[in-house]
């Protein structure tokens, strides 16, 4: 197992099992960059940790069901499902708080991390926002007809 795979596994464990933001922070470089489907680009360890911390709060029972783990050089890729029950507030990209829905989600997810000097310098998150919001019941009702 290489450095990238080790970092990806440590990060997943820190977020999904330990729920430990210090352990999450220890995975990222100071100037790390994350690219997310909902917030766009987040620059800096603190911003990324805050972003992931909001998911930990909103989905305290969250788990990651792996479909595949890949590694090539300094890149690790995880494919699977994010599964959790929304029992805490969600934070919308515009800063608004969305009350907990109590609903469970199971959303296909892909994470790509790029390692450099023993830390994550890039993290790309891929998941379908429409599927996520739909499972939470947060999409407007579609008119039939």
| Distance (Å, whole) CA 105 – CA 83 | 5
Q: What is the pLDDT of residues 45-77, one digit of tens each?
A: 999 999 999 999 999 999 999 999 999 999 999
Sheet strand arrangement including 28-36: 40-43, 28-36, 119-127, 104-116, 75-85, 63-72
Q: What is the pLDDT of residues 6-41, one digit of tens each?
A: 999 999 999 999 999 999 999 999 999 999 999 999
| Residues with Cβ within 8 Å of residue 39, at least 6 apart in sequence | 51, 93
Structure tokens at 9: 């596994």
Write the class of the CATH domain 3-135.
Answer: alpha beta
């Amino acid at each position: 197992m290489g450095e990238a795979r080790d970092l990806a596994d440590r990060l997943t464990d820190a977020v999904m099992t330990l729920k430990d933001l210090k352990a999450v922070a220890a995975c990222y470089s100071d100037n790390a960059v994350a690219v997310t489907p909902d917030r766009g680009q987040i620059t800096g360890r603190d911003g990324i940790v805050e972003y992931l911390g909001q998911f930990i709060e909103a989905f305290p029972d969250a788990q990651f069901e792996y479909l595949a783990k890949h590694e090539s050089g300094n890149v690790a890729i995880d494919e699977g499902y994010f599964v959790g029950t929304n029992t805490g507030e969600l934070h919308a990209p515009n800063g608004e708080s969305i009350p907990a829905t109590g609903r469970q989600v199971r959303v296909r997810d892909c994470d790509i991390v790029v390692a450099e000097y023993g830390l994550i310098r890039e993290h790309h998150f891929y998941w379908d926002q429409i599927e996520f919001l739909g499972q939470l019941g947060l999409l407007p009702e579609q008119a039939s007809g």
